[in-house]
Amino acid sequence: MLSDEQVVERFVQLRQHQRDGKRSPHKPLLVLSALGRLTHNGASTLRFSELEAHLSSLITNFGPPSSAGRAPSAAYPFTRLRSDGVWQLTHDVPMDNVGPLRTHDVAGGFTPDIEAALRASPGLVNRLARMLVDSQFPETLADDVLAQAGLDPEQVLRSHDLPESGGPVRTRSRAWVIETLISWDRACAFCGYDGQLGDSLVGIEAAHVRWFNLGGPDAANNGLALCSLHHKLFDRGALGIDVTHRVKVSGLFTGRTTAARSVYELHGVELRPRPGATLPAEEYVNWHNREVFKGRPLSA
C-alpha cells in the first residue's frame, strides 16, 4: 500500500502553476470535491451527470474569469485529471468532450491505490485538502472553497503543516503586514472603515493584490489595507482596481439590502494612501484584473 508521503507526492504536481501566475485551479477543485465525497460516502466515485453542475459552479465561483463570458466546462478537469496518475474513469472518452461523458454516464474516482491509502490513513484527506487549498487560494477564500467542496473547513485547516515533499513553503512577512496597514492609515482603502477595540484594530487586514501563493511579493506596491468584507470581495473578484487606482465593482455583483447595495457606491472611489506611501503597481493590478476580477465593471 502507498505510504502517506507517496500519496502526497502524487498530488504535488497539482499545486504547480503556469508561468506568469496564471491560475488553473480546475483539477484541484475536482480533487477537493472527490475528497469531500470520500469523507461522506466512503468512496470518491462521482458520476459526471451528478457532478457537472456542481463542479462548474465551483470553477465559476473560485476560478479565474472565464473567457468571453462562457460557463466553464467541468469536462476539462474530469477527463484531464487522468494524466496525473491519480484519477480514473469508468469509460475511455476523449479529453474535454462533454457528449460522451453524458452519453455513457461516465463516473470518475481516485485510482484504487490512492483510494485504499486514503481510507487506511485517518487525516490524510484533510492533509491533502489543506495542501491544495493553501496553494491555490488566499486565506479569505479557504473556508468557502472547502465548505462548497463538501469538506469541513475547521478540520482541514487544523491538519498538519505541508509535508517536505511539497517543497519549500514561503511564509508571509509580519513586517509587510505592519507596513501595509500603516501605509493606509490603518483604515480600509476602499471604504475608510478604521474600527478599533481598545488599542487593537478590528476587521482591518493587509491584502495582497497579486495573491501571495501565486507569486505575489510581500512588497509595498502589492498591498492594500482592507476591511474583512472588502478583502473577501476583492479576493472573490467582486471588487477590483483599475490602472488609475480607482475602485471598480463587478457588474456580476448584486445586492438587495441597503448594506449590500452600499458596495455599488465604491465604484470609482480613488485610492488615497497616506502621503509618501506606495500605490499598487500596474503589473499587480493587471494580474488581479486578468486572474481574479469577474466580468465587466459597472458603468460609470
Is the pLDDT at 300 greater than 70, yes or no?
A: no
Q: What is residue 229's predicted lDDT score, i.e. its pLDDT? A: 98
Confidence band of 122 (pLDDT split at 50, 70, 90): confident
> Same structural domain for residues 121 and 138?
yes
Q: Does residue 128 belong to any structural domain of this protein?
A: yes
Cell reading at 275: 502621503
Is the pLDDT at 47 greater than 70, yes or no?
A: yes
pTM: 0.91
d(CA 245, CA 278): 11
Question: At which of 109, 138, 166 does a domain end?
Answer: 166
Is the pLDDT at 237 greater than 60, yes or no?
A: yes
> Same structural domain for residues 90 and 136?
yes
Closest CA to 59 of 91, 27, 36: 27
Q: Does residue 298 belong to any structural domain of this protein?
A: no
Confidence band of 171 (pLDDT split at 50, 70, 90): confident
Mean pLDDT, rounded, of the chain:
92
> Same structural domain for residues 79 and 114?
yes
> Same structural domain for residues 35 and 144?
yes
pLDDT digits (tens, 9 = 90+) for 126-146: 999 999 999 999 999 999 999
Output 72 or 54, whichever has higher pLDDT: 54
> Same structural domain for residues 247 and 211?
yes
> Which of 69-83, 119-133, 139-153, 245-259 shows the lowest per-residue confidence on average (mean pLDDT)?
69-83
> Same structural domain for residues 185 and 253?
yes
Q: Does residue 297 belong to any structural domain of this protein?
A: no
> Same structural domain for residues 198 and 85?
no
Q: Does residue 43 belong to any structural domain of this protein?
A: yes
User: Burial code of 231-258, b = ≥16 C-beta within 10 A, e = fewer?
Assistant: bbbbbbbbbbbeeebbbbbbebbeeeee
Look at the chain and report how many structural domains it folds into: 2
| Pairing state between β 107-110 and 87-89 | antiparallel
CA distances (Å), origin 7, targets 86, 113, 117, 127: 9, 9, 7, 11
Q: Which helix (H) or strand (E) holds 180?
A: helix 174-183
Domain that holds residue 23: 4-166
Question: At which of 109, 133, 166 does a domain end?
Answer: 166
> Same structural domain for residues 196 and 228?
yes
Q: Does residue 300 belong to any structural domain of this protein?
A: no
